[in-house]
Amino acid sequence: MADISLHYSSNAPLAGTFTAFNQIFATWRRRARERRELAILDYRTVRDLGMNPSQIQFEANKPFWRD
């Protein structure tokens, strides 16, 4: 999971919070996209990656919020 820290200051109390949430959402969107792409790979590509179909299926079925 992404390491986040929420910074609060008197000048910009929510600036760090919004940045941290944007980073988390970007990571989640990337994971979801990559897992969708994994799910549609053909057997030859899976084999070229040095993986087997069960490993691909396991990774593709993980929820986006899990690393």
Ordered per-residue pLDDT tens for the chain, 67 residues: 556 665 555 555 666 888 899 999 999 999 999 999 999 999 999 999 999 999 999 999 999 999 8
Of the candidates 14, 20, 19, 17, the residue with the CA atom closest to the CA atom of residue 2: 20
Domain span at residue 55 reads 35-67
Is 26 within a domain? no
Tell me how crowded residue 56 is: count the other CB atoms within 10 A of its CB. 19
Per the domain annotation, does 43 fall within a domain?
yes
Give me the number of domains the chain comprises. Answer: 1
Residue 65 covered by a domain: yes
Residue type for 55, please? Q
Instruction: Classify residue 1: in a domain, yes or no.
Output: no
Q: Give me the phi and psi of 44, to 5 degrees please.
A: -60, -45
- Tell me the pTM: 0.69
Asked if residue 50 is part of any domain, the answer here is yes
Write the CA distances from 36 to 4, 7, 44, 61, 62, integer angstroms.
26, 34, 17, 9, 11
